[in-house]
Amino acid sequence: MDATLWVLGSAGWMPRAGRETSCFLLETPEQLIMLDAGTGVANLNLAAAALERHDRLTVLLSHYHLDHVVGLMYLKRFAADKRVDVYGPGRPVYPKTTQEYAADLLQDALYSSGSFGFACEVHYHDYGGQDFAVGDLPVAVRAQSHSAPSFELRLGDLVTYATDTSFDPTAWEDCSPSKVLLHECWQIGAGDPRHSSAEALAAGLPRERFGRVLLIHHNPAWSDTERAEVERTVAQHGIELARDGMTIEL
């Protein structure tokens, strides 16, 4: 299957220095799929031709932290004439549905278009921690360890998306191959147990199972020196830091 992946937002928590928060766009011949909807949605103009080729956009949310969902309100700029389907964890792993969380975020007092006004047709779905499919593309779901329920999303053999998670090397022992792995890297060494470190990923990730590994959800508090240190640490293992604006042909 020919597919293209755009990195629209590679940072976590907040934008900084040209890096928006979590958002990635995958185009296959049949589907246009967005992974999380952080401030990187504002970079959708980088995939303008792909947007023109599709009348439907599917948004897959790994969880509901603000840096992963705030860009839903930006979609009116890019998807006003499309059908948008938003999939989130929802019930029973959360106390509310995806539609209810969107209504909280996009309530009239905060966003004049509301939770159904950013596209000509909007539908919300809960995947509830279970595998599902977008058209003919299977989406495998795996629970992750984070401060709130967060889920790894594996789209066929194309992309594995694992953000906002601690790194447990045993969880990757039997993982199936994927052309691209997008994995969070929040810290250099061990620290915050809710997130992954460059040192742990370099030591424990089964690099041979992925065609390409890009680290995402970078800490905006990193200095230039710290960022360079992360790049050196992971480059020895054939791992890259993602950057906004990257386009990857699969």
DSSP-assigned beta bridge partners for residue 38: none
> Taking all residues of the chain, what is their mean pLDDT, rounded to a whole number?
96
What's residue 192's pLDDT?
83
pLDDT in tens, 25-64: 999 999 999 999 999 999 999 999 999 999 999 999 999 9
pLDDT band of residue 199 (cuts 50, 70, 90) is very high
In this structure, what CATH number is given to the domain that contains residue 43? 3.60.15.10
DSSP-assigned beta bridge partners for residue 159: 155, 180
In a domain, 73, yes or no: yes
Beta-strand runs (E) in the chain: 4-9, 23-27, 32-35, 56-60, 83-88, 121-126, 132-134, 137-144, 150-155, 159-162, 178-184, 210-216, 239-241, 247-249
- Look at phi and psi of residue 213 and say left if phi exceeds 0, alpha if psi is from -120 to 50, else beta: beta
Statement: residue 193 has pLDDT above 90: no
High-pLDDT (> 90) share of the chain, %: 92
User: Is the separation of the CB atoms in 188 and 215 below 8 Å?
Assistant: no
Going by C-alpha positions, the residue among 127, 141, 235, 139 that lies closest to residue 185 is 235
pLDDT in tens, 126-178: 999 999 999 999 999 999 989 899 999 999 999 999 999 999 898 888 889 99
The conformation of residue 163, written as its DSSP 8-state character, comes to: -
Give the number of other CB atoms < 10 A from CB of residue 214.
22
In a domain, 192, yes or no: yes
What's residue 191's pLDDT?
77
Statement: residue 111 has pLDDT above 80: yes
Min mean pLDDT across 26-40, 184-198, 234-248 is at: 184-198
Residue 10: which domain range? 4-243
Q: How confident is the model over 219-247, as a mean pLDDT?
A: 95
Round to whole Å and give the CA distance between 25 and 46. 10
What's residue 190's pLDDT?
81
What's residue 79's pLDDT?
97
What's residue 109's pLDDT?
96
> Helix (H, G, I), strand (E, B), or coil: what is residue 226?
helix
In a domain, 249, yes or no: no
pLDDT in tens, 59-77: 999 999 999 999 999 999 9
What's residue 96's pLDDT?
98
In a domain, 250, yes or no: no
In a domain, 248, yes or no: no
Tally of domains within the chain = 1
DSSP-assigned beta bridge partners for residue 210: 178
Round to whole Å and give the CA distance between 32 and 105. 24
